Structure 1
Amino acid sequence: MANKAGHRRFGSIRKLPSGRFQIRYPAPDGKLRSGETTYERERDAERALSLLEAKMVTGDWTDPQRSKVKLGDYAAKWISERTELRPRTVEIYSGLLRRHVAPYFGNVALGKINTEMVREWRATLASNGVGATEIAKAYRFLRAVLMTATDDQLIPRNPCRIRGAGEEKSEERPVLTVAQVFQLADLMPVRLRALILLATFASLRWGEVAALRRMDLDLNAGTVSVRQQHVELDTGELLVGPPKSRAGLRTVAIPEAIIPALRQHLDQFTESEPTALVFTGANGGILRRSNFRRAVKWSETTRKLGVPGLHFHDLRHTGNTIAASAGASLRDLMARMGHDSVRAAMIYQHRTAEADHQIADVMNGQDRTGPTDRGEWSLNKIDCVR
């Protein structure tokens, strides 16, 4: 059958020696492509051309050859091409791909993944005992990868369309009272007592407090400056870099009540050079999280405190809660926490209040001796309810 391109607005149809019909059409990239299949009847071929033309007009056309790329290969390439990602983030994404995504979707073509498969995958992870938080992280990773595949016109739309699947519903973490913070600090080896107090009342992450140097503490002004953080990879490699975000570079006011402990620590355990690490291991080396937990017998100590399962990060959570209860405004709380988005700060904010040094002053006035008759911890002007 003769080519009818002269009479057709879009594409062409030809009859093959087998008697079936094949379509050819110009793709958006300018290349002339043949249809993925042949048709028994010419009108079926015409219908296929019309459908392809409509998809190109609406922007829904995808390259059928490129959509055959396996998800595992595409996701690995997706990670490697994001040069702006921090090493720890690359490690997290690679772990999610290896543990949860690749075993199910690794050999599946991008164009074959649909919402039903994604829903089944999530159910499979849950039945295998994977926690809800981990499933949410894996889902968000897969959704991000497939969103890029959509933007690259490899697939017509992202199949990760399950409402709420990427939301984390973390369990409520414990918040220590001020008295418990000092009690925990007193249970530490002497050289690590000040670390507990500073991490809590300055709302510092582990990597931030471990990276502090003598020059970062200005005890006359009552401040600590966060300039860098330590990041420990699963391989054991320790990286030194800037905080998690631009807002992470910050100076935080600390309550006067812990300054004597900090002065004593600097005198006894910190070298005199401005660049000397404030907190070190027993032999003067860099303090690692794993070594810290062993040195202080963390699990045993937190059970003795009456808060089994306490994480070190819960100290930051406690500090944020105290600051919010002291009346921090949203902006002040974000600055203290080192966040550049309001979402995390709003978790802690209860009411608008004064600036950062005033937060520290209120924290300084809290009663360390025990609960009031109402079962709360007293402040000078307000109550910090547990």
Structure 2
Amino acid sequence: MASIQKRPDGAWRARYRDRSGKEHARHFRRKVDAQRWLDESASELVTGLWADPQLARGKLETQAAAWLASHPEWAPSTRARNRSIVGLHILPRWGGVRLGQITTEDVQKWVGELTASAGSIRKITGVLSGIMEQAVATKYLAVNPVAAVARPKQPMKRRRYLNAIEVERLANCAGVHSDMILTLAYCGLRFGEMAALHVSSVDTQRRRFMIEQSVTEVNGVLEWSAPKDHQRRSVPYPDFLADPIAARVNGHHGDRLVFPTPGGHAMRIGNARRDWFDPAVQAANLSPLTPHELRHTAASLAVAAGASVLALQRMLGHDKPSTTLDVYADLFDEDLDRLAERLATARSEALADFLRTNDSPNNPPT
């Protein structure tokens, strides 16, 4: 219900109730302005763009805390990263500012003043946009002022793929850890997924890893979580890994780690790189190389072996095939070349049949 009343002092009092029944009122010198405000509010309520003007007076620091607390699906590393960004970049500039006072123009200026890499600036801006997007969803704001902010383009870094010979060289230099190199390079597991594998997660008959957990070091503490994007999956391993994997799992109880440290604990990627991965990379003359680049290598080797986009998506645990294409579009360039060659061959065969048919005396041209 909405109404306009003239007050004794000559001002016009406009009021309406939102969907929850809460009353909102403002005073205007002219009746036409009061009516315009009521019409705009009614339109916003109908279209879903309405936001509580009282809530818009809240400060961003409160909304940021609510945003950080409302995402149980985040992996521990993602939560730690977002907390760090909020504390180091968002709160110092915007923490004490009212939500309704944050404008696209001000945010754009701030983005231009940030001294960080393009990738970092995109992450920082993304966090602020996420906070404001939640403010929109909870009716603190009508629109997200960060949505229209231009962000610097992140230069595409050429992804590195090892070939099969380089993988063998690296595995040979890794010594007793060679099966871990081969697992990463031919199965596409993330390091944390490999480190979290338990004996119960291995099917030696079907040669399958059941990827159900990941373990990551966050601020010095090992955090266990579901795989990234919560994509639990079954990943086959090649037969040349059958014996090494069987040796690691046979005779052991189900909750034992497949690839433990000498002390029986989950591997930490920093320690693994220091103790054996980086020395092996250096000995194989492949520096610089990270464990995650072996995941890229697995994608490359799989595509070279004829894997489809769907098969690659399932192996890597991407949420959808389009993600796989976005990440590894360059791996399918050769497919386009082969497609052009096949189309040329098909046309040549069709043309030969056409000419042979039309040259036949039994089939004179019409």
The question of a shared fold, defined as TM-score above 0.5 by the shorter chain, is answered with yes
- Alignment of structure 1 residues 14-163 onto 2, 5 Å: 14-15=6-7, 19=9, 21=11, 23-28=13-18, 29-35=20-26, 38-41=27-30, 43-125=32-114, 128=115, 130-162=116-148
Partner in structure 1 of residue 347 of structure 2 = none
Deviations 1:282-307 (A, max 9, x none): 33332111211221262x54344444
1:44 positional shift: 4.3
- The amino acid of 2:24's aligned partner reads R
Deviations 1:175-202 (A, max 9, x none): 11111112222222x3322111111111
Q: 1:271 touches 1:277 (CA, 8 Å); kept in 2? A: no
Take 1:275 and 1:67, find their aligned partners in 2: how far apart are those partners?
51
Residue of 304, 308, 317 corresponding to 1:325: 304
Take 1:58 and 1:263, find their aligned partners in 2: how far apart are those partners?
61
Take 1:166 and 1:337, find their aligned partners in 2: how far apart are those partners?
29
Partner in structure 2 of residue 12 of structure 1 = 4
Q: Structure 1 residues 317 and 155 mapped into 2: Cα distance closer, same or farther (>3 Å)? A: same
| More displaced stretch, 26-35 vs 325-334 | 26-35
- The amino acid of 1:237's aligned partner reads V
TM-score, with structure 2 as normaliser: 0.78
Partner in structure 2 of residue 359 of structure 1 = none
Take 1:54 and 1:25, find their aligned partners in 2: how far apart are those partners?
15
- Give the helix-richer structure, 1 or 2: 2
Partner in structure 1 of residue 188 of structure 2 = 203
Q: 2:216 touches 2:268 (CA, 8 Å); kept in 1? A: no
Partner in structure 2 of residue 336 of structure 1 = 315
Q: 1:24 touches 1:32 (CA, 8 Å); kept in 2? A: no
Q: 1:22 touches 1:34 (CA, 8 Å); kept in 2? A: no
- The amino acid of 1:31's aligned partner reads K
- Alignment of structure 1 residues 246-325 onto 2, 5 Å: 246-250=230-234, 252-262=235-245, 266=248, 272-296=252-276, 298=278, 301-325=280-304
The CA RMSD measured in Å over matched residues stands at 3.0
Q: 1:23 touches 1:49 (CA, 8 Å); kept in 2? A: no
Q: 2:75 touches 2:226 (CA, 8 Å); kept in 1? A: no
1:136 positional shift: 1.9
Unpaired segments ≥5 residues, structure 1: 1-8, 353-386
1:256 positional shift: 2.8
Aligned-residue identity in percent: 27
1:22 positional shift: 5.2
Unpaired segments ≥5 residues, structure 2: 337-366
